[in-house]
Structure 1
Amino acid sequence: MRILAILLTAIAALPVQSHEFWIEPLAYQVDIDGTIRGELTNGQEFEGSQLAFLPQRFARFSVAAGMRQSNIRNRVGARPALDIAPLAEGLNVISYQSRISTISYAEWEKFLAFAEHKDFADIEAIHDARGLPRTGFSEGYWRFAKTLIGVGNAIGRDFRSGLAIEFVALDNPYTDDLSNGLRVQLYYLDDLRPDAQVELFEKAPDGTVEITLHRTDADGIATLPVKAGHSYLVDAVVLREPNPELIGDTDIQWETLWAALTFGVPE
């Protein structure tokens, strides 16, 4: 219990500026008799702090391959949090859904900077029209993360796993020709999400990171330029007014849903 308390304290102390959350595998491709291992990571610019396996912090953590699916299990407090045998040969898709967390804004400028960075138009007018204070208000946020692991021949397709906001890779990064880019399709609830900002983080073999912005088309598809030997984090966010039930339970004024997808491109 003492170790668990220390882990929870460390997570609570993470800076609010640490926005993105993603699953970062130790290897994006493994042998069929190998092990899928990866870190749950919270940070910025594709660098951050690694989080332990704490079931009370997530509502779902699962792996799917072909027609098979299984919940991910590990020892409480273990790192890396993802440490499993492959479910099957082919493309293994790992999905994660957090429970809600909250942050409070003491400075209006920080909320405005966040809203501008994530491309939320007219947020100042909308916030004021709702009669919300400009300081001392709270945001609840959810993390919906996926990663694609190529096992053995890596054959297979990504698919909708039922996350509230979710990227689906329309190309397999381990088997398809990516000379024209890799296509991802963004879903929000039961709909496609057109004309949405997509942030692409590209990590080179030497660890340097380049960030570019892209947009989805009318079908919610963004075509992303990728390079052999690099790894990628794709990020998109929805900002919405919470439903009354959620406001009553958590005392939040805004709600954000974060989608993340990670994958590597072979040499």
Structure 2
Amino acid sequence: MHYRLFCSILCAGLTLGAAPLLSHEFWIEPEKYQVESGGAVVARLRNGQEFKGAEQPYLDHRIARFEVMQGEAASPYLGRMGDMPAFAGDTIQDGLAVLIHQTRPQTLTYDSWEEFQAFVDHKGFAGVPEAHQARGLPDAGFAEQYTRYAKALVAIGDGSGADLSTGLETEIIALANPYTDDMTAGLPIRLLYQGSPRPEAQVEVFAKAPDGAVTISTQLTDAKGETVVSVAPGNSYLLDAVVLRPAPDSKDYVWESLWAALTFAVPPR
């Protein structure tokens, strides 16, 4: 096996295997959120906390879906095993490009109740500890299956266009274009789960300033599954929302988590 590929797979195994235990996020991070017409779009997959994380290679056995959407047209992306950055596309047309990455499900085991409680508290899952106990589940040594659904908005040329539902089981949709629309009042978003709005759900907002400083806040969606995220010119953003649901009785894991992420930037004035 080529040395670079071996190292990529080894690093991915080390970082992905332990990452979700402390509520680590997974996202697509473009090198540039605005690209000139005809320019290449390069993006990294990252896993970490506080909008800082380890780069992940392109590993086809971990990918369920990797696409570029413009309007309603979707183009599958095929990379090479071990590629870092994981995405490099040079034939994307002008407009708003939506990069989509869905992982295959993976599992993790909670070795202590404190680990699970920290995750539940961080993501705002009220009532989950009580539901866990009501199901007669153990306080340690139980497993969770997790799947990631990440999107990134990249402006090509004039960047015109709109985000839309891509059919992911859970996703965050930008209801305005951060590259072409007035962001003075913020960016309205909609959170979906199985195609329907997800009301009263926590959205975690990571805002990265031009100097790299990151601020973190949370807010809830309304009855329509929508909320407005305050944004500032020159900043980039990661939005994260998680579904936690009981696993089917026939599985050897007891919880399933579905992680939706959206990254974008707001142009400087």
Task: Return the TM-score normalized by structure 2.
Answer: 0.95
Task: Work out the CA distance in 2 between the residues paired with 1:86 and 1:27.
Answer: 16
Q: Check 1:18–1:216 CA distance in 2 against 1; reply closer, same or farther (3 A cut).
A: closer
Task: Work out the CA distance in 2 between the residues paired with 1:201 and 1:236.
Answer: 12
Task: Work out the CA distance in 2 between the residues paired with 1:184 and 1:136.
Answer: 37
CA RMSD of aligned residues (A): 1.2
Deviation at 1:163, TM superposition (A): 0.4
Q: Check 1:127–1:67 CA distance in 2 against 1; reply closer, same or farther (3 A cut).
A: closer
Deviation at 1:73, TM superposition (A): 1.6
Amino acid at match of 2:225: G
Task: Work out the CA distance in 1 between the residues paired with 2:42 and 2:23.
Answer: 23
Amino acid at match of 1:177: D
Q: Check 1:243–1:193 CA distance in 2 against 1; reply closer, same or farther (3 A cut).
A: same
Question: 1:18·1:42 contact (CA, 8 Å) conserved in 2?
Answer: no
Deviation at 1:5, TM superposition (A): 4.2
Which residue pairs with 2:10 in the alignment?
9
Counterpart mapping for 1:33-112 below 5 A: 33-112=38-117
Question: 1:32·1:86 contact (CA, 8 Å) conserved in 2?
Answer: no
Partner of residue 119 from structure 1, selected from 105, 108, 124: 124
Deviation at 1:6, TM superposition (A): 3.5
Question: 1:138·1:252 contact (CA, 8 Å) conserved in 2?
Answer: yes
Deviation at 1:12, TM superposition (A): 2.1
Q: Helix, strand or coil: the match of 1:13?
A: helix
Amino acid at match of 2:198: R
Amino acid at match of 1:41: R
Q: Helix, strand or coil: the match of 2:259?
A: strand
- Aligned pair 1:219/2:224, yes or no? yes
Task: Work out the CA distance in 1 between the residues paired with 2:151 and 2:171.
Answer: 8
> Per-residue displacement from partner, 1:177-215 (whole Å, max 9, x unpaired)?
010000110000031101110000000001010001111
Q: Helix, strand or coil: the match of 1:155?
A: coil
Task: Work out the CA distance in 1 between the residues paired with 2:170 and 2:92.
Answer: 24
Task: Work out the CA distance in 2 between the residues paired with 1:13 and 1:66.
Answer: 37
Percent identical pairs in the alignment equals 46
Deviation at 1:13, TM superposition (A): 1.5
- Aligned pair 1:166/2:171, yes or no? yes
Task: Work out the CA distance in 2 between the residues paired with 1:210 and 1:138.
Answer: 31
Task: Work out the CA distance in 1 between the residues paired with 2:138 and 2:47.
Answer: 28
Deviation at 1:2, TM superposition (A): 5.0
Deviation at 1:75, TM superposition (A): 1.7
Partner of residue 180 from structure 1, selected from 172, 182, 185: 185
Greater Cα offset, 197-206 or 5-14: 5-14
Deviation at 1:86, TM superposition (A): 4.3
Q: Helix, strand or coil: the match of 1:174?
A: coil
Deviation at 1:7, TM superposition (A): 2.7
Which residue pairs with 2:264 in the alignment?
263
Which residue pairs with 2:140 in the alignment?
135
Task: Work out the CA distance in 1 between the residues paired with 2:71 and 2:124.
Answer: 36
Amino acid at match of 1:216: T
Question: 2:9·2:57 contact (CA, 8 Å) conserved in 1?
Answer: no
Partner of residue 157 from structure 2, selected from 148, 152, 160: 152
Question: 2:58·2:84 contact (CA, 8 Å) conserved in 1?
Answer: yes
- Aligned pair 1:233/2:238, yes or no? yes
Give the unaligned 5+ runs of structure 1: none
Which residue pairs with 2:248 in the alignment?
243
